[in-house]
Amino acid sequence: MYLNKYQILLKTVELGNITRAAEALGYTQSAVSRAVADLEREWDLELLTRSHSGVALTSDGEALLPYIQAVCNAGKELEEQVAELHGMTQGTLRVGTFASVCIHWLPFIMKEFLHRYPGIHFELVSKWEFAEVEDLVRRGRVDCGFLGLPAGPGLDTFPLRRDELLVALPPDHPLADAPFYPMERFAVDPYICIPEERDLEIGLIFQEEGVHPNLQYTVNDDFAVLAMVEQGLGVSIRPELVLRHTGRRFAAIPLERPRWRDIALAVRSGKLPSPLTARFLECVQEWIGTDK
């Protein structure tokens, strides 16, 4: 009973809203509110501040959050050990990810994994930045996470694939069939970018090459970038994985000096992955080996 209340509190904090937490957990709004209120009454502490914009942790709630998370993680590990004894027929796997992996890899990986272990449930948490996925793994909010290398401290990483960074060009661009895109050309062609905080690896390329791109547009979505490229509004550097199966017409060629991002699956360091996470890692590595 207490573990359930802790999980409700964590989901409410994660989503910042009681209504959204209730929807995510399959409870009524009043049930979520009552669970949080019960904890506050039992501990004689205010855990959340409530406003029209949502909820947030109080200072007391912030102090208790790591311990609540630890209890929930321990409970999940216990459930996974029981599931292991039952042949992995039950359990929940929490996976941190980013958009292109979530679209182009995870549906196929999940299908294969569920074919092997049909009783498992997935909880996917998608973030824009690798650092956000790192934080989810490090804090135990997810069991494992897809991210780019190098990763920060506190994580064990398992490299999966090198994803080449390519230049997306309008289909009628004069360099559409060229063997590579000259770096100095970025100062000429209109450039379409993703916000810098979400595209650090691309910004680093320009810094290292000493090139100032002819920045014309900033948009928040890879698919918006490609729609604009298709219409001849500019060029952009995007990972090869992003350029797969988009339904858009564009050319994609390597940079003058080829660049890659390294995608890995990460778990918290310091202990072995749980049985369920270990099985998922095996499945991911096998599927990556067959994906062309």
Please state the separation of Cα 161 from the chain's center in Å: 16
pLDDT of the residue at 89: 66
Q: Assign 245 a pLDDT band (cuts: 50, 70, 90).
A: confident
- In CATH, the architecture of 162-260 is 3-Layer(aba) Sandwich (3.40)
Query: Mean pLDDT over all residues of the chain?
Result: 91
Q: Assign 1 a pLDDT band (cuts: 50, 70, 90).
A: low
Query: Length of the chain, please?
Result: 292
Q: Assign 24 a pLDDT band (cuts: 50, 70, 90).
A: confident
| b/e per residue 122-148 (b: at least 16 CB within 10 A) | eeebbbbebebbbbbbbebbbbbbbbb
Can you name the residues that pair with 161 across neighbouring β-strands?
Answer: 263
Residue type, 49: T
Can you name the residues that pair with 149 across neighbouring β-strands?
Answer: 262
pLDDT of the residue at 272: 79
pLDDT of the residue at 85: 58
pLDDT tens digit sequence for 95-152: 999 999 999 999 999 999 999 988 889 999 999 889 999 999 998 889 999 999 999 9
Q: In the chain, where does the domain assigned CATH 1.10.10.10 lie?
A: 1-73
User: d(Cα 159, Cα 156) in Å, to the nearest integer?
Assistant: 10
Q: Tell the burial category of 164 from Cβ atoms under 10 Å away from its Cβ (0-12, 13-18, 19+).
A: middle
| Class of 1-73 in CATH | mainly alpha
pLDDT of the residue at 149: 92
Please state the separation of Cα 214 from the chain's center in Å: 30
Q: Tell the burial category of 261 from Cβ atoms under 10 Å away from its Cβ (0-12, 13-18, 19+).
A: middle
Enter the pTM of the model. 0.71
Q: In the chain, where does the domain assigned CATH 3.40.190.290 lie?
A: 162-260
